[in-house]
Amino acid sequence: MLKISELAAKTGLSAHTIRFYEKHDLIRASERSEAGYRYYNDSDIRRAEFVKTARNIGFSLEDISQLLSIRVDKTSHSCQEVTDITQHKLDEVNEKLSELESMQNTLQILLKSCCGGPEKATHCSIIEALDAGAVVKNRSAA
Amino acid sequence: MLKISELAAKTGLSAHTIRFYEKHDLIRASERSEAGYRYYNDSDIRRAEFVKTARNIGFSLEDISQLLSIRVDKTSHSCQEVTDITQHKLDEVNEKLSELESMQNTLQILLKSCCGGPEKATHCSIIEALDAGAVVKNRSAA
DNA sequence: TATAAGCTTAGAGCTGACTCTAAGGTCAAC
DNA sequence: GTTGACCTTAGAGTCAGCTCTAAGCTTATA
């Protein structure tokens, strides 16, 4: 049985965050001391680590909530539900990736165009490009 | 001279957003009608388009604020200041890109591992992987 | 002249994921 | 028995960038 600070040390989450996750039903403390202190048993700890892993991968708290409800009652859910959540997340990631790649591209072009020196910015090609509408299609579907 | 809704149409920003940007000193209406209506002259319009372009590229409002102050007084600023802002943004973008690539990678691996069918999730390999701590180093330096 | 569309403001609300505060109770060590 | 670290709660604050609301003027059109 771990106390909250011990679970925090074990998972790398802060005690604040653990309480916050509890509010959102992601992490549970099966027991409480008489004084109200949270105590985490092995099952709670595994659940907390599941949450941490999913969070590390990039799932939202809402996604994790769904994954958890599948995890606790696997027979009532299908693999498809799990892959749907995962695929949806992957789609999001891919979308953000292409936005960021576009930004990267534009920024690199801008940087190449400018001397970057101590010269006055009177003819700075970055400022000029922005003035001219140096648009590469970003943020299209943010 | 454009009214706010006309500037909105021209830039693709909403009137709400234009007012919001004005609050943050990004966009200006040089004139006001007697009734208080905003009127944008050519210089205001160019400034608004500069803002829109910078925003499209992915610069934060704070970045844009700095870029604008360079733009309005180029002789007091150097190209280096401009490239510093741009390089800093590129660094940010690169960092996010590598996080997202890592997520993409993990999600793809998870998806490949699971049948995704209507089977009960009893042995779902995604859930199992999350339980086992399927960590690929994401979010390390978010 | 009446109606509708458009404009004004200050300020609140939204998103997601924390992060912190205040005010107080508990516990272990010395 | 007292210090100090740790725990509790509800609720507020943070970030960025909008987005919307309410209440009331103004302007253009029919």
Percent of chain B clearing pLDDT 90 (strictly above): 93
Q: Considering all CA atoms of chain B, what is the largest pairwise distance in Å, rounded to the nearest integer?
A: 72
Distance, in Å, from the CA atom of B22 to the CA atom of A62, rounded to the nearest integer, reads: 35
Taking C1' of D25 and every protein CA, the nearest residue is B35
CA distances from A33 to A9, A17, A39, A79, A109 (A): 20, 20, 7, 38, 61
Average pLDDT, chain B: 94
For residue A125 the two structure tokens come to 């090609």
pLDDT attached to residue A134: 79
Indicate whether A142 pLDDT > 90.
no
Q: Is B135 on the interface with A (CB under 8 A)?
A: yes
The secondary element (H helix, E strand) that includes residue A29 is: none
pTM above 0.85, yes or no: yes
User: Are β-strands A38-39 and B31-32 bridged in parallel, bridged antiparallel, or unpaired?
Assistant: unpaired
pLDDT attached to residue B87: 97
Over residues A97-124, mean pLDDT: 96
B34 closest-nt by C1' vs CA? D26
pLDDT attached to residue A140: 42
- The shortest C-alpha distance from A11 to chain B (Å) reads 11
Q: Is B45 on the interface with A (CB under 8 A)?
A: no
Indicate whether B88 pLDDT > 50.
yes
Residue of B99, B101, B109, B115 lying closest to B129 (CA atoms):
B109
